[in-house]
Each structure stands twice: as structure tokens, then as C-alpha cells.
């Protein structure tokens, strides 16, 4: 299937506007802290949420408001997670009400998300005060401000959009996301808001999202810490007029493929911007017995602190890869493992049949000093494969999280 | 039960000698790399091993030699793990043979362990050359040299001994251990060699060891990376003449209690000397529904990179504790969680009923700048409890593992 990357992020699809402002939740006046995404017309909506038992109040409220499968707007603040606060639900509902009142829509059509420090009660005053300005700023050009406003320790904004053909029409998918630390999504992810002008009903949209999330967001890990506020929302307003039937036809498959491409792009951006990261790591496992074995193996490698630190140091310490495969829950024959490191600088094979082989240390160093590194693991157990994304472990990860609350 | 900490490590019990030398496996002449522990008379022996599917050749050979439940000597090198090398088993058997020939005992009575880089084939020449010197150095004073010789990235040697009364006689337990990174023992641990002059047959010794390991070594984690060469060996030579009957009588309970005290001491030393660590972290979970829930919860907290970095920065970010409890596999009511931080400087309660409470930030800082910190988690789900040990995540962890092989 053909698709093309375009600018415009979350407002690239027809019928969506967005905005982002500094309202005062954060002390730093240069950091936007409140984002709004709005569909001109009612949109089908689907979402996945964190599986953490400690779940943010915004997740609970958004789940409630999604019961009818429809939504108009997403309000999101950064700075405070609104999690583990006694008045969390009440405050999250109030954020929806404030947004709805200002936009002249129903509170039930507003979805809410928050990201930041767990614990403190969120102060609604800056949000209330900033809402008129936020609503007035809604525009086709507001996508970048919205992307900035949801960032926490992210060092780069994450927004992407792509267009593709669907049922004879050109459809667009757009997204903004945040996430840098506390990333080990489990059936959901950090925050990601996807918009599309394709017409796809909410139950089919839910199915498409679940299908894509399992091998995209759920295969990213920065630090194995599953967030309490993870959320991926997709809004499909059908503004382009295309319609995907309720049965899983070719159009549905195309939509899923486009959504998958978008989500993989976001996953790579999230992993590359992992807290303190200097390198994007990708682990590709092939030849696994089952899909689950492939996923478990790829995740174990990407999660190994020892391997992550070795990649930071550009040290071809493949024993760390073998060790991680060995303690993963994957069913695999360690005697059949081959490992190669790949990057823009080349490819170096370091292990075959579970044992080390002579390799060119100079080439290995060149391969591992690149910004994007693939750890290729070939098993001899079957035909299944999986890919996981992560990043290296650096001094800066420790620095950032040594004093996160200040 | 009374017991007393004494000096002498692994040679504190009667009938044991030890030695440690630099034989040349490592380039650095100032770092000892070969250790030997010897019992004057045949000893009952028991061991537990790593559950990593990638298992070091020395583990396989030691398991073979333990089939008769008896042993005389332990030979251990540092520098090379003898894992994932094609000739590993052969070399591990050769190490036992070289040791046996020099000591005039049977190869089957020698247990072997290795620790260091995974992958490279081990060179037997320095071991063969050094063996006469190593055997000649065996003495009651050699415990410290042996403890040094098994160290890798450890910054302090780990050796302990305690004496206690058993069946009217004074028995002694001694131990040396190594471990700093790649520590997340699973049914076994890094390397730990325990000696005792108590008389306890190998099947009862195995039972005692398994009982103790599950809530000592298996509750330590530095980086969630389970080593390929983990091994705990206990040698009981009965030199003191005490005998523990085959049924689980009071003497058995006493022995288990003494062994547990020794193992907890070692666990704390291992965690405190975790790679790059500046602080020992202990997580005590009480009020859990089941013992397993308590263990899962304590482990999740100790393993959280975000919490570990926060502890390094003395940041009372209790949201990290709640988050880790939430994604742990423990069955717990998050609404009933209370969290306190304790240390030599005092105790500060930061969370109650799953929500934050006002606390004295100045006191929290004072508590968290100590060297040993306890994270106390109180649940309202039952009566079970567990303790896990770990350490903070620091710049130096990254530094050490950025270039481990050189």
C-alpha cells in the first residue's frame, strides 16, 4: 500500500483544529502546559489505556466519556498527572466541563488526559483562566503548539501525519504523542492522540487500534516502568467522506496498515527520545517458534540495562544479548542463536549457534557509534518474528530522574 | 536463637582452608583471579544454580559433580565466565582435573565456578601454571585472598562468618560471595560459597538452602539481569561433630535460621555494592494477601529504574513507588497503600490510602541522603510480608557497563 508522510500533525486530517498554551500549571512560562484538539463534527472514537492498577483519574473519566463511542474534543495538560490524588476524578470531570462550556459542546464529548508528577492535586484555576485563550487559539496551525504542550521530559515534539487512498478518496491520519520516561506500555501507551478524516465506526476503530497497538506501542520500552496515565485515543470524524464497512474488507486492512505505519513512526520517535537517550535501539527477532516467543525475546533484549549501557558505550558485548534471551520467558533454543549489530555504518555478525565468532572490533565500533542501531537476533525455532524499540541507558537518564519533581 | 558474627569468612568453620592468587587470566597483576576452597575431610554439599536458559559451563559441570552429594574443593576464576564458548564444558572439567591432581583428590569431588565476560574461550595455561602456587597457599588465613579473587566489578570483598550453638556444640558458618552487576537471581544467585563445620547430610542441606534462598538471594536485584553463571554452594564437613538428624528437628530449624542470617548479610552487602551504587535500598512490604504478592510487590519497587534514580537524587518521589506497585503482578488494593521512607536519619510517611499526604520535605531529604534506606509499604490486604534488596541507579552504573569488556 502507498502512503506519503506529510506535515500538519494532528490537524492534517480535514475537520480538525488544535491549540496549545501556557496556562500556569507549570511555573516555567516558556513551557506550554495545556493542549486542545477539536473535531468540527462529531467523531467516532476509540482508545486504549494503561494496565497499571494505579490508574490516573483522566483515564477513568475518558473511559466513561467513550461509552457512546463518540467524541468532539481532547483536553490535555502536562505538569501534573492527576493520579493518586483524592479529588482526581472530580477534577478530571471538571476539566471536561470547563472545556465543553467554552466550546459549546457536551462534557461527555470531551476526553481528558494528564501527564506529569503523580500525587499532587491539580489546580483548576489556571486551566479555567486559560480556557478562553486556548479555545480562541484553535486553528489548522495549532498542531505544533498542541504537540509542545503535552511534552514533559521529551526533548523533541512528536507529531506525524500521512495520507493514503481509501475507497477512492485521499484520507489522512495525524498524531501527536508524548513520552520519554516511565515507558513500558502494556496494552496501551504513554499519551498519543490520533486523528483521521476517514469514516470508520467506533467498534471497528477499536479493533483496528487494538490490532496495531499490540505490535507497536506495546513493543516500546525505555525503562520497563509502565505509566499510570497511558492512553492512546483515535478520533475518526469521516470528514473526507470515505466509509469503511463494518466487515473487515480491504479498506479496513488498508486503514490498519496506515495506522500501523503511523504508530511505528511514533514508537521510534518515543524510543529515540527516551529519557537521556543518545541512541535508538531496535531489536528484530526472527525464526521464533511463536509470535509471543518472538515478542518476549525482543522485549527482553531491549529491556536489559546491561545491554543498554553497553550500547551507550558502543561496546559490542553480545554476551548481554544472549544473557537476556536466556532469562526471557521465550521458549527458544539458545544453541541456535545468531546475533548481528546493524546500523548506517554497516553490519557485523558477532555470534552464531549460541557461541561467539571472531569479528572485526573496528567495524563493530563504527556500527555501534551510529544514532540508530538494530540488534538482529536470528533463532532456529520457527518462522515467527517481532520487533521491539528502546534506547540506550545513559548518565542523563539518571540525572533526569534523580530529581524529577523539581 | 543466638548467634555471633566473627571474622574468618569461609575458613572460620573447622576443617576448611582457602587461597587466592593472580594466575594471569586477567591482565592486571594486582587483581587476584583464581580462588580455591578446600575441606580437610569429605563434605556434604548442596547447590542452587541460575535459571537462565543460557547457562555457564561451570554450572553444568558442578551439577554433575554434585550427584553424589559430596565434595572436597571449590575452584573459581574471575575474568572469563566460560559461558557461550564452544569448548566450555571441556575446559570446566579440565579445571576440576587440574585442581584434583594437584590436591590428590578425585576430579568428581571438585566443584567449579567462573565469573566474568560471556563469550571468550577460557585459557587454561595460566590456571595450570598457577595451580601449584594456589594449592601451596591454602591456609586458615587464605579466606580474604579467596574473597578477593572471585571479585569482578565488586568494589568491596564480601565475606562473613557467624557462630551458633547446635546440639550442644559451637558450629560455624562462613561464606564468600561476589556480585555487583547482572544481579537478579532466580532460584539461585551470583556466586556464593558457604562452608560449615556442622554435620548435615546433603539432602537436608539442599532443603535448607532452597528454603533460605527463596527469600534471601532471590529477593536481591541490582539490574534485573539474571546472570548465566549464578551459583550458591554449601559445603558441610561435620568437623565439629554436631549432627542434624534427617527429620526436621529443632537443630534443623536452628541451622536454617543461622544460614538465613548469613545469607541476608550477604544479600545486603551485594545490593549495597551494586554496580555504581551509592545507597542500599530495602523494600519491606507488609499486609499482603499472600507471601507471593508481598514478594512481587517488594521486587517491583526495588526494580523500578525511576525509583532507583529518585533514591540516588534523594527525591521523595513516592509516585514512583505507587506506580511500580500498580504494574507489579501482585494482587493488591492500591486504595489501601501507605508508604514511608526510613533511614538512620528518621522516618517520613508520604502516602496513605493510596494518596499523597503532606510531609516535611526537609525531613524527607535528610532521610533519603543516608546510605541505607528502607521503603516501607503497608498494604491492607492480609498478613503476609516480604523484603527485597537493591540499590540506587547512578551515573557510575552506566559508566561501568558502557565499556565492560575492556
Which residue of chain B comes nearest to A275, CA vs CA? Answer: B306
Q: How many CA atoms lie within 13 A of A300 on its CB side?
A: 24
Under 8 Å between Cβ of A52 and A25: no
pLDDT value at B403 more than 90 = no
Nearest to B84 among A184, A319, A400 (CB): A319
pLDDT value at B300 more than 50 = yes
pLDDT tens for A112-150 read 999 988 888 999 999 999 999 999 999 999 999 999 999
Q: What is the mean pLDDT of residues B209-238?
A: 82
Burial of residue A403, with CB atoms counted within 10 A of its CB: 0-12 exposed, 13-18 middle, 19 or more buried:
middle
The answer to whether the CB atoms of B322 and A400 lie below 8 A apart is no
Q: How many CA atoms lie within 13 A of A14 on its CB side?
A: 11
Percent of chain B with pLDDT over 90: 61
Which residue of chain A comes nearest to B223, CA vs CA? Answer: A305
Active-site pick, B50, B102, B152, B189? B189
The answer to whether the CB atoms of B351 and A400 lie below 8 A apart is no
Q: What is the mean pLDDT of residues B384-404?
A: 86
The answer to whether the CB atoms of A52 and B326 lie below 8 A apart is yes
Under 8 Å between Cβ of A279 and A311: yes
pLDDT tens for B303-352 read 998 899 999 999 999 999 999 999 898 999 999 999 999 998 888 999 99
pLDDT value at A245 more than 70 = no
Residue-range domains of chain B with CATH: 4-272 (3.60.70.12), 280-402 (3.10.20.340)
Which residue of chain A comes nearest to B310, CA vs CA? Answer: A402
The answer to whether the CB atoms of B402 and A313 lie below 8 A apart is yes
pLDDT at B231: 84
Prediction pTM value: 0.79
The answer to whether the CB atoms of A119 and B326 lie below 8 A apart is no
The answer to whether the CB atoms of B334 and A54 lie below 8 A apart is yes
The answer to whether the CB atoms of B315 and A404 lie below 8 A apart is yes
The answer to whether the CB atoms of A326 and B355 lie below 8 A apart is no
Cα distance between residue A349 and residue B42, in whole Å = 47
The answer to whether the CB atoms of B81 and A319 lie below 8 A apart is yes
Task: Report ipTM (2 d.p.).
Answer: 0.74
Which residue of chain B comes nearest to A186, CA vs CA? Answer: B327
* Residue B400 pLDDT level (bands cut at 50, 70, 90): confident
For the ranges A346-355, B79-88, B103-112, the maximum mean pLDDT occurs at: B103-112
pLDDT tens for A299-330 read 999 999 889 999 999 999 999 999 999 989 89
- Residues in chain B closer than 8 A to A334 (CB atoms): 53-54
Min Cα–Cα distance to chain A from B203, Å: 28
Min Cα–Cα distance to chain A from B66, Å: 24
The answer to whether the CB atoms of A226 and B327 lie below 8 A apart is yes
Burial of residue B2, with CB atoms counted within 10 A of its CB: 0-12 exposed, 13-18 middle, 19 or more buried:
exposed
Under 8 Å between Cβ of A312 and A393: yes
* Residue A187 pLDDT level (bands cut at 50, 70, 90): very low
Instruction: Tell me if residue A378 is catalytic.
Output: no
Cα distance between residue A61 and residue A192, in whole Å = 17
Under 8 Å between Cβ of A69 and A202: yes
Mutation for testing the A interface, residue in B87, B114, B119 having most A CBs under 10 Å: B119
Between A213 and A285, whose confidence is greater?
A285
Min Cα–Cα distance to chain A from B91, Å: 15
Min Cα–Cα distance to chain A from B86, Å: 6
Stretch (H or E) spanning B320: helix B319-327
pLDDT tens for A59-105 read 999 999 999 999 999 999 999 999 988 899 999 999 999 999 999 99
SS (H, E, C) B321-353: HHHHHHHCCCCCCHHHCEEEEEECCEEEEEEEC
pLDDT value at A347 more than 70 = yes
pLDDT value at B93 more than 90 = yes
Q: What is the mean pLDDT of residues B251-268?
A: 89
pLDDT at A247: 66
Which residue of chain B comes nearest to A368, CA vs CA? Answer: B402
pLDDT value at A406 more than 60 = no
Nearest to A315 among B83, B227, B404 (CB): B404
pLDDT tens for A20-37 read 999 999 999 999 999 999
pLDDT at B246: 60
Mutation for testing the B interface, residue in A122, A306, A354 having most B CBs under 10 Å: A306
- Least Cα distance to B206 among B66, B72, B38 occurs for B66
Question: B297 by DSSP, 3-state: which?
Answer: helix
Q: What is the mean pLDDT of residues B367-396?
A: 94
Q: What is the mean pLDDT of residues B263-281?
A: 88
Measure Cα distances from A261 to A288, A321, A343, A362 in Å: 23, 27, 21, 35
Which residue of chain A comes nearest to B51, CA vs CA? Answer: A327
pLDDT value at B273 more than 70 = yes
- Least Cα distance to B226 among A305, A289, A211 occurs for A305
Write the CB contacts of B284 (distance below 8 Å, at least 6 apart in sequence): B298, B374, B375, B376, B377, B385, B386, B387
pLDDT at A192: 87
- Average pLDDT of chain B is 90
CA A291 from centre of chain? 21
pLDDT value at B184 more than 80 = no
Write the CB contacts of A249 (distance below 8 Å, at least 6 apart in sequence): none
Min Cα–Cα distance to chain B from A278, Å: 13
Cα distance between residue A258 and residue A315, in whole Å = 36
Mutation for testing the A interface, residue in B187, B225, B278, B379 having most A CBs under 10 Å: B225
Q: Using alpha carbons only, what angle is made at residue A120 by residues A115 and A121, rounded to the nearest 5 degrees? A: 95
* Residue B399 pLDDT level (bands cut at 50, 70, 90): confident
The answer to whether the CB atoms of A325 and B402 lie below 8 A apart is no
- Residues in chain A closer than 8 A to B351 (CB atoms): 84, 119
Between B245 and A394, whose confidence is greater?
A394
Write the CB contacts of B311 (distance below 8 Å, at least 6 apart in sequence): B279, B281, B368, B373, B392
pLDDT at B142: 97
pLDDT value at B292 more than 70 = yes
Cα distance between residue A269 and residue A274, in whole Å = 9
Active-site pick, A50, A62, A99, A189? A189
For residue B354, what is the DSSP state?
A: T
> Which of A226-235, B31-40, B306-315 bottoms out in mean pLDDT, i.e. has the lowest?
A226-235
* Residue A404 pLDDT level (bands cut at 50, 70, 90): low
User: Left, alpha or beta for A219 (phi > 0: left; psi -120 to 50: alpha)?
Assistant: alpha
- Least Cα distance to A379 among A301, A280, A267 occurs for A301
pLDDT at B188: 42
Amino acid at each position: 500500500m502507498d502512503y506519503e508522510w506529510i506535515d500538519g500533525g494532528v490537524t492534517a486530517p480535514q475537520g480538525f483544529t488544535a491549540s496549545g498554551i501556557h496556562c500556569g500549571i507549570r511555573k516555567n512560562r516558556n513551557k506550554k502546559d495545556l493542549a486542545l484538539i477539536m473535531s468540527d463534527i462529531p467523531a467516532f472514537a476509540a482508545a486504549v489505556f494503561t494496565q497499571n492498577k494505579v490508574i490516573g483519574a483522566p483515564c477513568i473519566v475518558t473511559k466513561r466519556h467513550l461509552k457512546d463511542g463518540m467524541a468532539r474534543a481532547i483536553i490535555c495538560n502536562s505538569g501534573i498527572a492527576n493520579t493518586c490524588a483524592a479529588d482526581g476524578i472530580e477534577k478530571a470531570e471538571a476539566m471536561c466541563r470547563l472545556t465543553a462550556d467554552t466550546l459549546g459542546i457536551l462534557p461527555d464529548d470531551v476526553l481528558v488526559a494528564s501527564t506529569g508528577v503523580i500525587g499532587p492535586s491539580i489546580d483548576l484555576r489556571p486551566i479555567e483562566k486559560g480556557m478562553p485563550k486556548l479555545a480562541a487559539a484553535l486553528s489548522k496551525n495549532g498542531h505544533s503548539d498542541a504537540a509542545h504542550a503535552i511534552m514533559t521530559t521529551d526533548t523533541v515534539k512528536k507529531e506525524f501525519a500521512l495520507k493514503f487512498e481509501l475507497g477512492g478518496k485521499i484520507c489522512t491520519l495525524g498524531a501527536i504523542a508524548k513520552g520519554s520516561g516511565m515507558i513500558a506500555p502494556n496494552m496501551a501507551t504513554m499519551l498519543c492522540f490520533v486523528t483521521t478524516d476517514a469514516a470508520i465506526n467506533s467498534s471497528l476503530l477499536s479493533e483496528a487500534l487494538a490490532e496495531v497497538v499490540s505490535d507497536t506501542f506495546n513493543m516500546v520500552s525505555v525503562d520497563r516502568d509502565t505509566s499510570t496515565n497511558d492512553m492512546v485515543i483515535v478520533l475518526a470524524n469521516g470528514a473526507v467522506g470515505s466509509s469503511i464497512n463494518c466487515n473487515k474488507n480491504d479498506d479496513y486492512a488498508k486503514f490498519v496498515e496506515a495506522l500501523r505505519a503511523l504508530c511505528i513512526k511514533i514508537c521510534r520517535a518515543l524510543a529515540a527520545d527516551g529519557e537521556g537517550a543518545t541512541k535508538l535501539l531496535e531489536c528484530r527477532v526472527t525464526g521464533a517458534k511463536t509470535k509471543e516467543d518472538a515478542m518476549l525475546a525482543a522485549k527482553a533484549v531491549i529491556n536489559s540495562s546491561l545491554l543498554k549501557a553497553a550500547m551507550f558505550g558502543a561496546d559490542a558485548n553480545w554476551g548481554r544479548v544472549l544473557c537476556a534471551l536466556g532469562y526471557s520467558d521465550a521458549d527458544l533454543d539458545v544453541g541456535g542463536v545468531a546475533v548481528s549489530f546493524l546500523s548506517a555504518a554497516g553490519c557485523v555478525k558477532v555470534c552464531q549457534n549460541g557461541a561467539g565468532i571472531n569479528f572485526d572490533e573496528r567495524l563493530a565500533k563504527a556500527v555501534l557509534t551510529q544514532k540508530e542501531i538494530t540488534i538482529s537476533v536470528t533463532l532456529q525455532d520457527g518462522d515467527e518474528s517481532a520487533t521491539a524499540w528502546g534506547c540506550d541507558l545513559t548518565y542523563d537518564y539518571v540525572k533526569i530522574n534523580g530529581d524529577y519533581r523539581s
